[in-house]
Structure 1
Amino acid sequence: MSSTTRLDNAYDHAEVIPFDDNSKLILFSDCHRGDNSFADDFANNRNIYFHALNHYYREGFHYFELGDGDELWENISFDAIFEAHKNVYQLLRRFHLEKRLYMIWGNHDMVYKDPDYVKKHLSHYFEPIDGSDKALFKGITYHEALRLKHTETGQEIFLTHGHQADWWNYVCWRIGRFLVRVLWKPLQVVGIADPTSPAKNYKELIRIEKRIKRWILRKNLLLTIAGHTHRPRFPEPGEIPFFNDGSCVHPRSITGIEIENGEISLIKWHIDSKPDGTLQIVRVLLEGPEKLVDYINP
């Protein structure tokens, strides 16, 4: 099966989510939430991410996670990840209870494509304080892809992780998971990167992006937002409309894509210092905002 066929299948089976110019959406991906060990890349940005997540919750945004939210290649079970970042999941649960949470699976959390696995591991958690099971993401659905459709213009935005264009990480993800657990996780602690990861292999990253761009052209410039490569992308209107929200494991920062007031923006949250030397977490606009309608193919 080619990358084109895999992307076509993801598109054809994607649930359609309506939105309009009053909708407020935040898109993150590649959080790679781990167990707070030395190999947990998310741990360095946990406070930045939690602060940003609180902001979007208060401001009424809908949260979309485009895959690889949980690091289930390095970690065998979700339980250790949940205990390490319990405050994050409790906040995500508030989004879920208000029907503002949309989750997509990637290659590192591809086990979530199985609804039975999701129901067994994510519906409840054990609270050792009172020895009881408590609800977490009861009834949650993980998707391979989603299609946002504007209720007035009919414009579609295709959301997916992007590993459909990466044969090794889509077809052979179980082998990749095994190699990461037994080989690359211990080496990562001493600074040796996994060469099979497109985020750490520039040539593979470029090949994946080219495959997705060719697919977008076949679909007549369907606006697409993905993750997987960890490299933020924000094209100008008139260019191939392939966006990438980056990741939440950049050094000392996280990046994402906001859609608000019918406009799209690439943003970054990072730690900055005030003139008096105290530290603060700030939001920075990297690209945009650009009007979504400007990306409609004439």
Structure 2
Amino acid sequence: MFSAKKQLDKTYKQAHRVPFDDSSKIILFSDCHRGDNSFADDFANNRNIYFHALKHYYNEGFSYCELGDGDELWENLSFESLLNAHKNVYLLMKQFHEEGRLHMIWGNHDMVYRNPNYVKKYLSTYFDPKIGEDVELFCDIKYHEGIVLQHSETGQELFLCHGHQADWWNYLFWKWSRFLVRILWKPLNVMGIADPTSPAKNYKELIKVERRTKKWIVENNNLLTIAGHTHRPRFPEPGDIAFFNDGSCVHPRSITGLEIEHGKISLIKWQIATTDDGTLKIVRVLLEGPTPLIDYKTE
């Protein structure tokens, strides 16, 4: 019998722990669903926005936490097709990784990454046709089901996961879901018909997933929890249930994420804006915060 509580408990207890403090700078994105640049690749519409934003965070010294579903491996058979479609993005992520600033979580759409052997086989190197040999990509990268950011001074914990632990269908039957997506929903998606099993496109499922997650947070002393999966941004006020969601990178014409800087958390959006002279540029918009993390701490 599936239990969201058991799955979230297990993910939290086995989570990879990462220390941070008020000098740390962290950007959290999820649900990029990087595809093969076909008509079904939802990421392709926002890839320039995403690349610009990630380049900004790299230059500003941020660490990058990706909370699952970064790669769309339900619609696509191999990582190689994604790499070829969005190589500039992966090479930028490689720079984060080489500097110890990349923290990766797997979601239901890239659940194959929970197998370290799969990750080592397909993500460690790639073939560079310019020199005719394999070159390093994400050597020794580790994917986790959950990550706990622990403040080195206050002891406050921030629990990061994808969020499908509260979604029985997409956690237990992800292989069946993947089969349906590849055979049925990918071609229908091109015609604009949404997959009804996805909580991001099914409001009733979204509410159920959020309700189960919030119940678990309350039972765990209002543990500050950050997830993705539903694609719906959430930014609670201090005193409310501390359930955050960074949204997704496949919103129409924009991406959303959560920034942690100076011990505070903010919900942000990157989008294309038009200047008075008609020039298009990518801009960062502050949606919520910054709010001190300590305001969410419970004893």
Is 1:171 matched with 2:172?
yes
Q: What CA distance in whole angstroms lies between the structure 2 residues aligned with 1:28 and 1:194?
A: 22
Q: Matches of 1:20 and 1:241 in 2, distance apart?
A: 19
Q: CA deviation at 1:128?
A: 1.2
Q: Map residues 68-79 of structure 1 onto 2, 5 A cutoff.
A: 68-79=69-80
Match of 2:155?
154
Q: Secondary structure at the match of 2:225?
A: strand
Partner residue in 2 for 1:93: 94
How far residue 147 of structure 1 moved from its aligned partner, in angstroms, is: 0.2
Instruction: Report the equivalent of 1:263.
Output: 264
53-62 or 124-133: bigger deviation: 124-133
Which residue number corresponds to residue 58 of structure 2? 57
3-state DSSP of counterpart to 1:175:
helix
- In the other structure, the counterpart of 2:285 is 284
One-letter code of the match for 1:209?
Answer: E
Tell me what 1:237 maps to.
238
RMSD: 0.5
The answer for the alignment partner of 2:120 in structure 1 is 119
1:77 alignment partner AA: S
Shift of 1:131: 1.1
Question: How far 1:170 sits from its partner (Å)?
Answer: 0.3
Q: Which amino acid aligns with 2:175?
A: R
**Alpha-carbon distance in structure 1 between the residues aligned to 2:88 and 2:60:** 19
Partner SS, residue 94 of structure 2: helix
Q: Deviations over 1:97-148 (max 9, x none)?
A: 0000000000000000000000000000001122100000000000000000
Which whole-Å CA distance do the structure 1 matches of 2:173 and 2:16 have between them? Answer: 26
Does 2:234 align with 1:226?
Answer: no
Give the structure-1-normalised TM-score.
1.00
- Matches of 1:271 and 1:158, distance apart in 2: 31
Note the residue ranges of structure 1 that are not aligned, 5 or more in a row: none
SS of corresponding position for 1:233: coil
Mean Cα deviation higher: 127-136 or 140-149? 127-136
Q: Distance in 1 between matches of 2:199 and 2:16?
A: 27
Q: Give the AA of the match of 2:23.
A: N
Q: What is the distance in 2 between the residues matched to 1:16 and 1:189?
A: 40
CA distance in 1, matches of 2:139, 2:16: 19
User: Offset of 1:297 from its aligned partner?
Assistant: 1.5
Shift of 1:222: 0.3
Classify the secondary structure of the residue corresponding to 1:164: helix
One-letter amino acid of the counterpart of residue 90, structure 2: Y
- Shift of residue 74, structure 1, vs aligned partner: 0.1
Give distance in 2, aligned partners of 1:105 and 1:15: 13
Answer yes or no: is 1:83 the counterpart of 2:84.
yes
Secondary structure of 1:169's aligned partner? helix
Paired AA for residue 68 in structure 2 = G
1:247 is matched with which residue?
Answer: 248
How far apart are the structure 2 equivalents of 1:234 and 1:161? Answer: 16
Give distance in 1, aligned partners of 2:222 and 2:151: 16
What is the identity, as a one-letter code, of the residue corresponding to 1:12? Answer: K
Aligned letter for 2:97? H
C-alpha distance in 2, partners of 1:131/1:197? Answer: 41
CA deviations over 1:253-288 (Å, ceiling 9, x no partner): 000000000000000000000100010000000000
Aligned partner of 1:217 in structure 2 is: 218
Q: Does 1:183 align with 2:184?
A: yes
2:203 is matched with 202
What is the correspondence of 1:26-65 to structure 2 with a 5 Å cutoff?
26-65=27-66
* 1:14 lines up with 2:39 in the alignment: no
* C-alpha distance after superposition, 1:70-96 (max 9, x if no partner): 000000000000000000000000000
Measured after TM superposition, the shift of residue 60 of structure 1 is 0.1
Q: Give runs of ≥4 in structure 1 deviating > 6 Å.
A: none
Percent identical pairs in the alignment equals: 71
Aligned to 2:145: 144
Letter in 1 for 2:130: I
Amino acid at match of 2:163: G
Q: Secondary structure at the match of 1:224?
A: strand
Segments of 5+ residues of structure 2 without an aligned counterpart are none
Tell me the distance in 1 between the aligned counterparts of 2:213 and 2:257. 19
Structure 2 residue identity aligned to 1:167: W
Determine the C-alpha separation between the residues in 2 that align with 1:208 and 1:187: 25
The CA distance in 1 between the partners of 2:86 and 2:118, in whole Å, is 20
